[in-house]
Amino acid sequence: MDLEPGRPRHEQISDYLREQIESDAYATDEKLPSEKELGDLFDVSRVTVRRALQTLEHEGYIYRRQGLGSFVQDRQAAQGLVRLTDFAQDMAQAGLEASSEVLHHASESPPPAVATQLGLGDETTVMRLDRLRLGDGRPVAFDRTWLPMFYAQLLEDHDLSQETIYGILEQDYEIPVLRGRYRLTAANADEEIAEALGVDAGRAVLLIERLSLTQGDKPVYFQRRYYRNDRVAYELELARDTNARPPTQGMPLRDFEPVFDSFPDS
């Protein structure tokens, strides 16, 4: 099968398979062609095929079994999954131009709580990256991110004011960020964070702690993001399954996403 010139081949393969799945060419739990078969079909390497399959797995279209292959995910079940996005994707969804300012980028010994999240010893060195995240040039969030040195070294020679960690790892090194564990709470901005966000010290902000994981549940980074609460809110959508028994079962989470710029400037 011929691919279009000028477009990444792995994107065209994932688009083709996505269309096949959505048109019910494959049934739920049906096995897809092997990486070799897909490589022969599109005349590409297995690395390219694997990257296309990683995209579909990330989107919830397929699931993969070590040594067995890739299988079609139950789309009804997948609708309950929350999308895992980065800041640039969130901004694009809101119609805002994303940009960042790198405020700190250096190695350090991680705080004990961070070391625990990353599965590292207290004496291990990590890279700490602080960035001010902006939407249309206005401060939206302050990120403090800790990365194991293995992943941190892959970010060298990249412009972290323009590129995202997701994008660098997935596009340049084929390391997909597949899962994330989130914790949402409130915090008071200390002087450093308040100055960066342009608010008064001690002001309440929305704090999201996130542990991002790649294949094999390996931690890629742990992040604390402090949002200005006048510029972001989170909305969730629940969908009741009327076929569930008993019908009083909790409603699955269908969508949970940030909504930006819903509030006037303060």
Closest CA to 53 of 176, 154, 168: 176
- Note if the pTM is more than 0.85: no
Is the pLDDT reported for residue 92 higher than 60? Answer: yes
**Which residue, 230, 182, 224, 223, is CA-closest to 205?**
230
Q: What is the pLDDT of residue 79?
A: 38
pLDDT for 146 beyond 70: yes
**Range 212-217 contact pairs with CB under 8 angstroms and sequence separation of 24 or more:** 212/84, 212/165, 212/177, 212/179, 212/180, 213/177, 213/178, 213/179, 213/180, 213/181, 214/169, 214/175, 214/176, 214/177, 214/178, 215/176, 215/178, 217/179
> Are the C-beta atoms of 132 and 161 separated by less than 8 Å?
no
pLDDT tens-digit profile of 16-28?
A: 999 998 888 998 8
Q: Does residue 207 contact residue 186 with C-beta atoms inside 8 Å? A: yes
Identify the helix (H) or strand (E) that includes residue 54: helix 46-59
How many C-beta atoms lie closer than 10 Å to residue 89's C-beta?
15
pLDDT of 177-234, one tens digit each? 888 888 889 999 999 999 999 999 999 999 999 999 998 889 999 999 999 988 877 7
Angle (nearest 5°) at CA 169 between 254 and 131: 80
Contact 36, 7 (CB under 8 A): no
More confident residue, 258 or 56: 56
Domains of the chain, each with CATH number or no CATH: 9-78 (1.10.10.10), 87-229 (3.40.1410.10)
Please report the sign of the dihedral spanned by the C-alpha atoms of residue 239, residue 217, residue 258, residue 209. Answer: positive
What pLDDT is attached to residue 82?
41
Q: What is the average pLDDT score of the chain?
A: 83
Three-class SS state of 88? helix
pLDDT digits (tens, 9 = 90+) for 150-174: 999 999 999 999 888 988 998 888 8
| Mean pLDDT, residues 71-100 | 66
The secondary structure of residue 249, as a DSSP letter, is: S
Q: Which residue has the tokens 């989130």?
A: 182
pLDDT: is 65 or 41 the higher one?
Answer: 41
Contacts of 211 (CB under 8 A, 6+ apart): 117, 118, 180, 181, 219, 221, 222, 223
